[in-house]
Amino acid sequence: NKYVYDFEEGNATMKDLLGSKGANLSQMVQNGMPVPPGFIVTTKACVEFLEGESFLVDKIWPDIQKAILRMEAKTGKKWGSGPTPLLVSVRSGAPVSMPGMMDSVLNLGLNRDTLEYMAEASQNRRFALDSYRRLIQMFGEVVAGLSPDLFEKVLDEAKKKNNLLYDYQIPAQILEEIVAAYLHIYESHTHSSFPYDPWKQLKMALAAVFKSWNNPRAITYRNLHSIPHNLGTAVSIVSMVFGNLNEQCGTGVCFTRNPSDGSADLYGEFLINAQGEDVVAGVRTPIPISELRYMMADMFNQLVDITGSLERFYKDMQDVEFTIENRKLYILQTRSGKRSAEAAVRIAHDMVQENLIGKSEALTRVTPREAELLLHKQIGSQVDVPLVAEGLPASPGACSGMIVFSPEAAVQWNDEGKNVILVRPETSPDDIHGLAVAEGVVTSRGGMTSHAAVVARGMGKPCVSGCEELFIDVDEKVLYGESLILKEGDIITVDGSNGRVYAGEAPLVDAKITKELSVFLQWADEAASLEVWANADTPEDARRAREFGAKGIGLCRTEHMFMAQDRLPVMEHMIMAPDKESRLKDLELLKEMQKNDFADIFREMSGCPVIIRLLDPPLHEFLPKENVIRQQLFEMQREKESPAQKKKILEMEAVLKKIEMLKEINPMMGFRGCRLGILHPEIYEAQIRAIFEAALLVLGERKAVFPEIMIPLVGLSEEMEIFREMVDRIAEEYYKSTGIIVDYKVGSMIEVPHSVLVADKIAKVADFFSFGTNDLTQAVFAYSRDDAESKFLRAYLQKGILQENPFHTLDREGVGEMMRLCVKKARETRQNMSLGICGEHGGNPESIAFCHIIGLNYVSCSPFRIPVARLAAAQAAL
């Protein structure tokens, strides 16, 4: 039952008991570094104290008294008396870092009498009074719970009255008055005198710092960061050293590497003749640490030595606090330093090169979140523009631009050289040209798999979706935020990494793939068992995917090819075709167009597998919107009817009729995917032919091509059998006519629960499976992927009914269990079956970890998420 440890008794492994600050101080003492003498009261003491054993402080008091006596011996100073009084700080320090959340009290041990000794010993009465002033204020706030304003008001008035700007300019005689006023504040508000006895001060401070573990701020912080509430804080009691005695003193903070770009220089700042809080308070501008070399070369060299050896010991970049007292260096704290995403990669990379850490360790030093930030523009550290709204962080990165409310305006303004952000209630395939030219997208409806979100992620553009509090009036071209109204042309900044939309332009910083990042990701590939493939619909996507390290294309959605401006009319014509003959003509045209698209993608991905999925969405999505036609029709009918117009009107009426015919109550569960291919085999056949002809074309250029044809929305083995037969038959035809073998595969998406349950049967006729977890999640939960997020999912998350958005993070217990079952059944039939995932979860780190666990071969995600996925795949395997 040991509650009190001298620094000499601890080490870095004892963080749970001594807190991380205490454990590191102990370790530094073990390593022979200049740390002011001190001791630690353990987290266990804190926990027991807070559990109602408030007598604990009394119980361990004799141990604390003995520790203070040992401190006297080590420092040669006297607790509570002269000639050189011992002062101590009482600092909180939890096992995990909770910066600034709990309390500390400095300068304990000062009173009317020791103050005089301090003044005498330091030859600096102003210093002694200032220390006493700080003690009364901190003690008043932390121990007695007094408002800081009470003290600040006195200080401000004193400065005003004497025409002084800064605290450090206040002379001793005025400090004398301030101290008196402070003591009065303390006494009048607590109805007791400020404790004179240093032991009493210490005891009260210790109890207060223990209690600060449960202040509301700390509780909130722990909730936010999932830190258990039962850890407790340790308390370090350290003899005070002073950086503010004279010009031979100073204090500062330094990092062993540059925390913003990761370069290996000592980086930091300090102040001469100052206390720690002055550096942070920003009252005086600190001096770069490199200047210390010229001001106190001996101190600088010692600091370089010590920080270097700390970094080698901890094998990580350290953030070190130091104080120089009368030209003697003390280290007050060391911890691993916070760093930017770019610095995290550079440091991990460099430390491997320096043989400080191994590659596996390096791979754990960068979070997937950081890897994600690396590829996108980000908002600089200072955001001083007002927040307009908050929605879902649908596609990471930040951008600024002028608001436009229609894709047409987006295109037009973009042509005029303006940066635009498309703001819509929601987007649809009709808006694609607007999305293509916009810097980013904001929608008031729709979730993480909404059209806007998926397309924006695919394009690597920032997107905030589902900003429910925005009212977007497209007709009036006005956007109503909670407290702001914006109109077309106004500038906004979108941060798709945290879901925020700001009014005005916030400064952005650029992202780049550095040499270090590419080496680092190479290590990730070596460590991972999952491969990372890409969802890519265009040759440009494919090129980018390859650049980012994709090993194949896991999903090429062919419908996007039909949605291009020049193809929609042909597609529309094909759907409207009165007979099979004219439909086949249109399909022949479309086939030629697709063939060229496929050929370009095969060229980009030469040597890698390319999975092409046959047409998936219901046909009505390719027809104009009903209300648009009705509007046009209405206007045409008002005008005088020419024969040409009559014909046009008839055509439009036919389209309306077709739309009526194709209309479904529940299109997501309707006539789409392979169901379409079964009733209109000519559509799928045309696509399959385009794939084979493209493959033959590129094979003719002596490039390796591995086409894999994927059938969407399969639920029955009987369906798959039809397509297996269809593809094999067409392949045979091409083989017969060319004599060239195309190395192709035929596989199925798994996105319908029934397909999971009969996976063993489907596997008999499928070479591979790819989990379409967007649809699978929709079907397993019966949550509409288009509506659920904006309608009820948010409430479910707030109420804690769901822990995570299942369209974002794979739901392991339901959807994941389905996948696990499918893997088992598939491999029972076909032992080495290639299994992957191409739903949006394929780029989400937690979901990737699950894919690793159930033994998939690859994950496929949009090109911009590839680096994140590569890192996540490696971390899953470590």
557 annotated ligand-binding residue: yes
d(CA 489, CA 482) in angstroms, rounded, equals 19
Is the dihedral angle over the CA atoms 136, 140, 141, 142 positive or is it negative?
positive
d(CA 845, CA 29) in angstroms, rounded, equals 40
d(CA 247, CA 308) in angstroms, rounded, equals 26
Cβ(533)–Cβ(856) under 8 Å?
Answer: no
Binding string, residues 734-753; x marks residues near ligand PEP by CB under 6 A: -----------------x--
Is residue 772 part of the contact set for ligand PEP (CB under 6 A)? yes
Give me 442's structure tokens: 């904001």
User: Which one of the listed residues 838, 851, 852, 861 is annotated catalytic?
Assistant: 838
End-to-end CA distance of the chain: 38
Element (H, E) at 117: helix 112-122
Closer residue to Mg ion in complex, CB, 130/751: 751
Closer residue to ligand PEP in complex, CB, 742/780: 780
- The window from 388-396, 499-507, 643-651, 770-778 that contacts ligand PEP (CB under 6 A) reads 770-778
Q: Which does 839 bind (CB under 5 to 8 A by kind): ligand PEP, Mg ion, none?
A: ligand PEP
- Which candidate, 525, 528, 527, 519, places its Cα nearest to that of 348? 519
Q: Which amino acid is at 827?
A: R
774 annotated ligand-binding residue: yes
Closer residue to ligand PEP in complex, CB, 57/532: 532
Is residue 557 part of the contact set for ligand PEP (CB under 6 A)? yes
User: Which one of the listed residues 451, 680, 808, 841 is annotated catalytic?
Assistant: 451
Closer residue to ligand PEP in complex, CB, 472/756: 756
Using only C-alpha atoms, what is the Rg of the chain? Answer: 34
- The window from 108-116, 753-761, 768-776, 821-829 that contacts ligand PEP (CB under 6 A) reads 768-776
- The window from 204-212, 369-377, 635-643, 772-780 that contacts ligand PEP (CB under 6 A) reads 772-780
d(CA 38, CA 25) in angstroms, rounded, equals 9
Q: Which does 443 bind (CB under 5 to 8 A by kind): Mg ion, ligand PEP, none?
A: none
d(CA 241, CA 88) in angstroms, rounded, equals 9
Count H helices, E strands: the chain?
36, 33
Closer residue to ligand PEP in complex, CB, 586/775: 775
Closer residue to ligand PEP in complex, CB, 323/862: 862
- The window from 81-89, 123-131, 624-632, 771-779 that contacts Mg ion (CB under 5 A) reads 771-779
Cβ(70)–Cβ(186) under 8 Å?
Answer: no
Q: Which does 222 bind (CB under 5 to 8 A by kind): ligand PEP, Mg ion, none?
A: none
775 annotated ligand-binding residue: yes
d(CA 307, CA 586) in angstroms, rounded, equals 72
Is residue 774 part of the contact set for ligand PEP (CB under 6 A)? yes
Closer residue to ligand PEP in complex, CB, 544/557: 557
Is residue 541 part of the contact set for ligand PEP (CB under 6 A)? no
d(CA 614, CA 834) in angstroms, rounded, equals 19
The rounded Cα 281 to chain-centroid distance in angstroms is 29
Binding residues for ligand PEP restricted to 94-133, rule: CB under 6 A: none
What is the SS3 string spanning 185-213? Answer: HHHHHHCCCCCCCHHHHHHHHHHHHHHHH
Closer residue to Mg ion in complex, CB, 18/838: 838
Is residue 319 part of the contact set for Mg ion (CB under 5 A)? no
Residue 601 CB, nearest approach to ligand PEP (Å): 17
Residue 788 CB, nearest approach to ligand PEP (Å): 14
d(CA 200, CA 262) in angstroms, rounded, equals 46
Task: Determine whether 620 is an active site residue.
Answer: no
- The window from 90-98, 500-508, 533-541, 768-776 that contacts Mg ion (CB under 5 A) reads 768-776
772 annotated ligand-binding residue: yes
d(CA 845, CA 546) in angstroms, rounded, equals 20
- Which candidate, 740, 666, 745, places its Cα nearest to that of 706? 745
Binding residues for ligand PEP restricted to 782-841, rule: CB under 6 A: 838-839
Q: Which does 48 bind (CB under 5 to 8 A by kind): Mg ion, ligand PEP, none?
A: none
Residue 752 CB, nearest approach to Mg ion (Å): 9
- Which candidate, 98, 138, 127, 132, places its Cα nearest to that of 113? 132
- Which candidate, 511, 558, 268, places its Cα nearest to that of 399? 511
Strands 318-325 and 328-336: antiparallel
Residue 612 CB, nearest approach to Mg ion (Å): 14
Q: Which does 530 bind (CB under 5 to 8 A by kind): ligand PEP, Mg ion, none?
A: none
Q: Which does 773 bind (CB under 5 to 8 A by kind): Mg ion, ligand PEP, none?
A: ligand PEP
Strand pairing partners for 503?
492
Cβ(481)–Cβ(470) under 8 Å?
Answer: yes
Is residue 862 part of the contact set for ligand PEP (CB under 6 A)? no
Give me 32's structure tokens: 């022979």
Is residue 554 part of the contact set for ligand PEP (CB under 6 A)? no
Residue 624 CB, nearest approach to Mg ion (Å): 24
Residue 636 vs residues 297, 625, 838: alpha-carbon distances, Å: 87, 17, 45
Element (H, E) at 707: strand 706-711
- Residue carrying the six token digits 């270097």: 308
Residue 804 CB, nearest approach to ligand PEP (Å): 17
Task: Determine whether 852 is an active site residue.
Answer: no
d(CA 439, CA 413) in angstroms, rounded, equals 12
Q: Which amino acid is at 785?
A: R
d(CA 836, CA 533) in angstroms, rounded, equals 9
Q: How many chain residues are in contact with Mg ion, going by CB under 5 A? A: 3
Binding string, residues 693-732; x marks residues near Mg ion by CB under 5 A: ----------------------------------------
Closer residue to ligand PEP in complex, CB, 132/807: 807
Is residue 772 part of the contact set for Mg ion (CB under 5 A)? yes
With CB atoms as reference, the residue minimizing the distance to Mg ion is 775
Residue 706 CB, nearest approach to ligand PEP (Å): 20
Cβ(383)–Cβ(508) under 8 Å?
Answer: no
Is residue 775 part of the contact set for ligand PEP (CB under 6 A)? yes
Phi and psi, residue 476, nearest 5°? -80, -10
Residues annotated in a binding site: 557, 613, 751, 772-775
Residues that bind ligand PEP (CB under 6 A): 555, 557, 616, 751, 772-775, 838-839
Where does this chain bind Mg ion (CB under 5 A)?
A: 751, 772, 775
Please identify every residue annotated as catalytic. 451, 838
| Feature table: binding site for substrate | 557, 613, 751, 772-775
